Amino acid sequence: MQVVIHAGAHITDEDRLVNTLITNRDMLATNGTNIPHPNTYRKLLRDVLQEAQHSGGTSSQARDVLLDAILKGEAKDRLILSNPGFFGTPKMAVSAGSLYGAAEQRLNILKGIFEQDKIELFMAICNPATFLPAVYKKTPHTSFDEYMRHVDPREVRWSEMIARIREAYPDLAITIWCNEDLPMIWSQVLREMAGVDPTVEIAGEFNLLREIMSDAGLKRFKSYLKSHPGMSEIQKRRVIAAFLDKFAKEDAIEEELDMPGWTEELIDQITEIYDEDLYTIQRIPGINLITP
């Protein structure tokens, strides 16, 4: 069985991906993919992960117990498990400038549980200028500097985290995308997570556009697609970009950053470093980086 681990990151799609896949559960089941509701496994898996961390391993029955609770007797070829907390809480998201320091340990436990299965990792990354303040606000810390352990935010690199995982698990299938690109690549991420062909129709493949495009623009966009059937993913992305350029809701795509002491210059520097970091990620062997 293929087991997809969708590990967030925190504050990225906020369960939109898994919820959209759940609306397609019956159709995907015919393709051998099971999309259980997160309520059926998040607490259970969290408890298993915590117990394994404390005891140093998992029981031989852990997989059977989990699958009985999750699948409820349904045999499928592909199982999708989604939780932004797979690699830890927001408090654990940054440690001395290193992102998700527990990722390798948590993956080791998951690989131990699903030893007879093939695990695939799916994860969004996000501009640290947005990510760091947002996860900080979800922690009990009262000082951002203390949360960062006095590390300059310009030192944070997603490539460092991904390289650590790749070194620890050379054969692990890893798919990464930028959360900022999600409106453009939404349908591809959905299909790759579900393990279905690009031609398979998925309900809600333009759900994210509804949040950031005006109603008039969305209506015209859907009408355009209807009148131009058979477009490729690349062609659709060009159309999406054109419609967003004209019909995007400014208040929905502009993020207000309110971090005391952060200047526009600092935010621009972090963003530029993030853009450069993507080139480093592209050079990490075996990474499937989904881009517009």
Is residue 262 situated within a structural domain?
A: no
Q: Please give the backbone phi and psi of residue 122, each rounded to the nearest 5 degrees, phi first.
A: -120, 135
**Mean pLDDT, to the nearest integer, of 188-214?**
92
147-175 per-position pLDDT tens digit: 999 999 999 999 999 999 999 999 999 99
The answer to whether the beta carbons of residues 8 and 18 sit under 8 Å apart is no
User: At 253, is the pLDDT very low, low, confident or very high (cuts 50, 70, 90)?
Assistant: low
Cis omega before residue 52 (within 30°)? no
In a domain, 168, yes or no: yes
Q: What is the DSSP letter of 177?
A: E
pLDDT tens-digit profile of 202-224?
999 888 898 899 999 999 999 99
Residue 218 covered by a domain: no
Q: Which amino acid is it at 193?
A: M
Query: What is the reported pTM?
Result: 0.94
Take residue 68 and report the two structure tokens written for it: 């009985």
Query: How many other CB atoms are found less than 10 A from the CB of residue 189?
Result: 22
Domain span at 70: 2-203+274-290
Residue 191 in domain: yes
> What is the distance between the alpha carbons of residues 15 and 12, in angstroms, rounded to a whole number?
8
Whether pLDDT at 255 is above 70: no
Q: Report yes or no: 77 and 32 within 8 Å, Cβ to Cβ.
A: yes
Q: How many domains does the chain have?
A: 1
On whether residue 247 sits in a domain, the answer given is no
CATH classification of the domain holding 103? 3.40.50
- Residue 183's CB is within 10 A of a number of other CB atoms, namely 21
User: Cα-Cα-Cα-Cα dihedral of 210, 211, 212, 213, to 10°?
Assistant: 30
Q: Is residue 52 part of a domain?
A: yes
Is 60 a domain residue?
yes
The helix-helix angle for 103-113 and 42-55 (nearest 10°) equals: 100
Residue 248 in any domain: the answer is: no
